Protein backbone atom coordinates (compact mmCIF):
# COMPACT_ATOMS: atom_id res chain seq x y z
CA UNK A 1 0.00 0.00 0.00
CA UNK A 2 2.84 2.40 0.85
CA UNK A 3 4.46 1.71 -2.53
CA UNK A 4 1.16 2.49 -4.31
CA UNK A 5 0.86 5.78 -2.44
CA UNK A 6 4.37 6.80 -3.45
CA UNK A 7 3.66 5.89 -7.07
CA UNK A 8 0.44 7.92 -7.00
CA UNK A 9 2.18 10.98 -5.62
CA UNK A 10 5.02 10.65 -8.13
CA UNK A 11 2.60 10.25 -11.05
CA UNK A 12 0.52 13.28 -10.15
CA UNK A 13 3.50 15.40 -9.26
CA UNK A 14 4.67 14.84 -12.83
CA UNK A 15 1.29 15.18 -14.50
CA UNK A 16 -0.13 18.14 -12.65
CA UNK A 17 2.99 20.18 -12.18
CA UNK A 18 4.72 19.48 -15.51
CA UNK A 19 1.74 19.26 -17.86
CA UNK A 20 -1.18 20.59 -15.83
CA UNK A 21 -3.31 22.00 -18.64
CA UNK A 22 -5.40 19.49 -20.54
CA UNK A 23 -5.23 16.78 -17.86
CA UNK A 24 -8.75 15.45 -17.34
CA UNK A 25 -10.78 12.69 -15.74
CA UNK A 26 -13.77 11.34 -17.68
CA UNK A 27 -16.75 9.05 -17.14
CA UNK A 28 -18.98 7.62 -19.86
CA UNK A 29 -22.70 7.30 -19.14
CA UNK A 30 -26.19 8.23 -20.28
CA UNK A 31 -28.16 11.43 -19.81
CA UNK A 32 -31.03 11.68 -17.34
CA UNK A 33 -34.59 11.05 -18.50
CA UNK A 34 -35.90 13.54 -15.93
CA UNK A 35 -33.59 16.51 -16.32
CA UNK A 36 -34.23 18.23 -12.96
CA UNK A 37 -35.47 15.66 -10.42
CA UNK A 38 -32.53 14.68 -8.22
CA UNK A 39 -34.44 11.63 -6.97
CA UNK A 40 -34.86 10.16 -10.46
CA UNK A 41 -31.63 8.62 -11.87
CA UNK A 42 -33.37 6.85 -14.78
CA UNK A 43 -31.16 7.16 -17.90
CA UNK A 44 -32.43 8.28 -21.30
CA UNK A 45 -29.88 6.10 -23.18
CA UNK A 46 -28.27 9.14 -24.84
CA UNK A 47 -24.48 8.84 -24.44
CA UNK A 48 -22.97 11.62 -22.30
CA UNK A 49 -19.35 12.17 -21.27
CA UNK A 50 -18.77 13.70 -17.84
CA UNK A 51 -15.40 15.46 -17.96
CA UNK A 52 -13.39 17.44 -15.40
CA UNK A 53 -10.46 19.18 -17.08
CA UNK A 54 -7.67 21.03 -15.25
CA UNK A 55 -7.45 24.69 -16.26
CA UNK A 56 -5.22 26.07 -13.47
CA UNK A 57 -2.84 24.78 -10.80
CA UNK A 58 -3.43 27.07 -7.81
CA UNK A 59 -0.82 25.31 -5.69
CA UNK A 60 -0.90 23.24 -2.52
CA UNK A 61 -2.89 20.49 -4.19
CA UNK A 62 -5.68 22.86 -5.26
CA UNK A 63 -6.80 23.05 -8.91
CA UNK A 64 -9.38 24.90 -10.94
CA UNK A 65 -11.35 22.67 -13.29
CA UNK A 66 -13.85 22.95 -16.10
CA UNK A 67 -16.82 20.57 -16.01
CA UNK A 68 -18.61 19.54 -19.19
CA UNK A 69 -21.34 16.95 -19.68
CA UNK A 70 -22.56 16.92 -16.08
CA UNK A 71 -22.04 14.64 -13.08
CA UNK A 72 -23.41 11.22 -12.10
CA UNK A 73 -26.85 11.26 -10.51
CA UNK A 74 -27.87 8.38 -8.25
CA UNK A 75 -29.77 7.73 -5.05
CA UNK A 76 -28.86 5.54 -2.11
CA UNK A 77 -29.57 1.80 -2.33
CA UNK A 78 -29.99 1.66 -6.10
CA UNK A 79 -27.54 0.87 -8.91
CA UNK A 80 -29.20 3.12 -11.48
CA UNK A 81 -27.00 6.02 -12.63
CA UNK A 82 -27.46 8.82 -15.15
CA UNK A 83 -25.42 11.94 -15.91
CA UNK A 84 -27.14 15.12 -14.76
CA UNK A 85 -26.31 18.11 -16.91
CA UNK A 86 -29.26 20.46 -16.37
CA UNK A 87 -28.83 20.97 -12.62
CA UNK A 88 -25.09 20.23 -12.26
CA UNK A 89 -24.07 22.81 -14.88
CA UNK A 90 -27.11 25.06 -14.72
CA UNK A 91 -27.94 28.45 -16.24
CA UNK A 92 -26.37 31.85 -16.80
CA UNK A 93 -27.85 35.27 -17.62
CA UNK A 94 -27.31 39.01 -17.11
CA UNK A 95 -30.22 41.43 -17.68
CA UNK A 96 -32.00 38.98 -19.94
CA UNK A 97 -33.37 35.48 -20.29
CA UNK A 98 -30.99 32.95 -18.68
CA UNK A 99 -29.71 30.20 -20.95
CA UNK A 100 -28.22 26.77 -20.18
CA UNK A 101 -24.45 26.63 -19.79
CA UNK A 102 -22.32 24.13 -21.70
CA UNK A 103 -19.61 24.08 -19.02
CA UNK A 104 -19.00 25.39 -15.51
CA UNK A 105 -15.99 25.95 -13.29
CA UNK A 106 -15.20 23.62 -10.41
CA UNK A 107 -12.55 23.52 -7.68
CA UNK A 108 -10.57 20.44 -6.64
CA UNK A 109 -8.16 19.32 -3.95
CA UNK A 110 -5.96 16.26 -4.50
CA UNK A 111 -3.96 14.75 -1.61
CA UNK A 112 -2.30 12.02 -3.65
CA UNK A 113 -4.97 9.54 -2.55
CA UNK A 114 -8.24 11.44 -2.20
CA UNK A 115 -9.70 13.84 -4.73
CA UNK A 116 -12.42 16.27 -3.64
CA UNK A 117 -14.27 18.34 -6.26
CA UNK A 118 -16.82 21.07 -5.52
CA UNK A 119 -19.24 22.30 -8.21
CA UNK A 120 -21.80 25.07 -7.68
CA UNK A 121 -24.54 25.96 -10.16
CA UNK A 122 -27.83 27.83 -10.50
CA UNK A 123 -31.04 26.32 -11.90
CA UNK A 124 -34.08 28.34 -12.96
CA UNK A 125 -37.52 27.24 -14.12
CA UNK A 126 -37.88 30.46 -16.22
CA UNK A 127 -41.29 31.15 -14.69
CA UNK A 128 -40.84 34.89 -13.98
CA UNK A 129 -43.88 36.98 -14.85
CA UNK A 130 -45.86 40.17 -14.27
CA UNK A 131 -49.59 40.85 -14.22
CA UNK A 132 -49.96 44.37 -15.70
CA UNK A 133 -53.42 45.19 -14.32
CA UNK A 134 -52.73 44.02 -10.78
CA UNK A 135 -49.07 45.14 -10.69
CA UNK A 136 -48.24 41.65 -9.54
CA UNK A 137 -44.80 40.20 -10.20
CA UNK A 138 -43.08 36.94 -9.42
CA UNK A 139 -39.51 35.88 -10.12
CA UNK A 140 -38.54 32.48 -11.43
CA UNK A 141 -37.91 29.74 -8.91
CA UNK A 142 -34.13 29.79 -8.48
CA UNK A 143 -32.25 26.81 -7.06
CA UNK A 144 -28.65 27.15 -5.86
CA UNK A 145 -27.02 23.74 -6.17
CA UNK A 146 -23.74 22.51 -4.71
CA UNK A 147 -22.26 19.08 -5.34
CA UNK A 148 -19.16 17.86 -3.50
CA UNK A 149 -17.69 14.73 -5.08
CA UNK A 150 -15.23 12.58 -3.13
CA UNK A 151 -13.00 10.17 -5.06
CA UNK A 152 -10.36 7.59 -4.20
CA UNK A 153 -7.41 7.29 -6.59
CA UNK A 154 -6.47 3.84 -7.91
CA UNK A 155 -2.85 4.11 -9.19
CA UNK A 156 -2.87 0.59 -10.64
CA UNK A 157 -5.34 1.56 -13.37
CA UNK A 158 -4.99 5.39 -13.20
CA UNK A 159 -8.63 5.93 -12.31
CA UNK A 160 -10.70 7.68 -9.66
CA UNK A 161 -13.56 5.86 -7.98
CA UNK A 162 -16.47 8.02 -6.83
CA UNK A 163 -17.14 7.18 -3.16
CA UNK A 164 -19.50 9.92 -1.99
CA UNK A 165 -21.51 12.86 -3.26
CA UNK A 166 -22.73 15.56 -0.87
CA UNK A 167 -25.63 17.30 -2.61
CA UNK A 168 -27.38 20.45 -1.45
CA UNK A 169 -30.07 22.55 -3.09
CA UNK A 170 -31.00 26.02 -1.86
CA UNK A 171 -34.05 28.00 -2.98
CA UNK A 172 -34.71 31.70 -3.74
CA UNK A 173 -37.97 33.32 -4.85
CA UNK A 174 -39.47 36.83 -4.75
CA UNK A 175 -43.07 37.89 -5.38
CA UNK A 176 -45.30 40.91 -4.83
CA UNK A 177 -46.58 41.53 -1.34
CA UNK A 178 -50.23 41.76 -0.41
CA UNK A 179 -50.15 45.25 1.13
CA UNK A 180 -48.39 48.58 0.60
CA UNK A 181 -46.46 48.04 3.83
CA UNK A 182 -45.12 44.76 2.43
CA UNK A 183 -44.27 45.59 -1.21
CA UNK A 184 -42.65 42.22 -1.86
CA UNK A 185 -42.04 38.91 -0.15
CA UNK A 186 -38.86 36.86 -0.39
CA UNK A 187 -38.21 33.21 0.30
CA UNK A 188 -34.55 32.35 0.94
CA UNK A 189 -33.76 28.78 1.98
CA UNK A 190 -30.12 27.68 2.26
CA UNK A 191 -31.27 24.05 2.09
CA UNK A 192 -34.41 22.76 0.37
CA UNK A 193 -33.73 19.25 -0.94
CA UNK A 194 -36.92 17.47 0.14
CA UNK A 195 -38.51 20.08 2.42
CA UNK A 196 -37.61 23.58 3.72
CA UNK A 197 -34.54 23.80 5.97
CA UNK A 198 -33.59 20.15 5.67
CA UNK A 199 -30.03 18.82 5.57
CA UNK A 200 -27.69 18.25 2.59
CA UNK A 201 -27.97 14.77 1.14
CA UNK A 202 -25.01 12.39 1.60
CA UNK A 203 -25.09 9.83 -1.20
CA UNK A 204 -23.07 6.63 -1.62
CA UNK A 205 -23.12 4.95 -5.04
CA UNK A 206 -23.96 1.26 -5.18
CA UNK A 207 -22.63 1.00 -8.72
CA UNK A 208 -18.95 1.28 -9.55
CA UNK A 209 -18.44 4.80 -10.93
CA UNK A 210 -14.88 5.09 -12.21
CA UNK A 211 -13.43 8.20 -13.83
CA UNK A 212 -10.43 7.39 -16.01
CA UNK A 213 -7.43 9.68 -16.32
CA UNK A 214 -6.75 11.28 -19.70
| pLDDT for 13 beyond 60 | no
Q: Which residues contact 154 (CB under 8 A, 6 or more apart)?
A: 160, 161, 210
The CA distances from residue 65 to 57, 62, 116, 117, in Å, are: 9, 10, 12, 9
Query: What's the pLDDT tens digit per position in 149-188?
Result: 999 999 999 999 999 999 999 999 998 866 666 678 899 9
**For the chain, what is the domain count?**
1
Its domain, for residue 39, covers: 2-213
**18: confidence class by pLDDT, cuts 50, 70, 90:** very low
Amino acid sequence: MRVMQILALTLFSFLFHSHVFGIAIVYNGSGCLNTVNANDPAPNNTPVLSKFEVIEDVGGGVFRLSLTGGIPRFVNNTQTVCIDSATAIGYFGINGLPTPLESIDATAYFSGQDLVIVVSSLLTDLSAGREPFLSFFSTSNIFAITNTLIFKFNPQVSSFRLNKVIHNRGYIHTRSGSTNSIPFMETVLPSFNEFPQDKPRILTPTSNIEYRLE
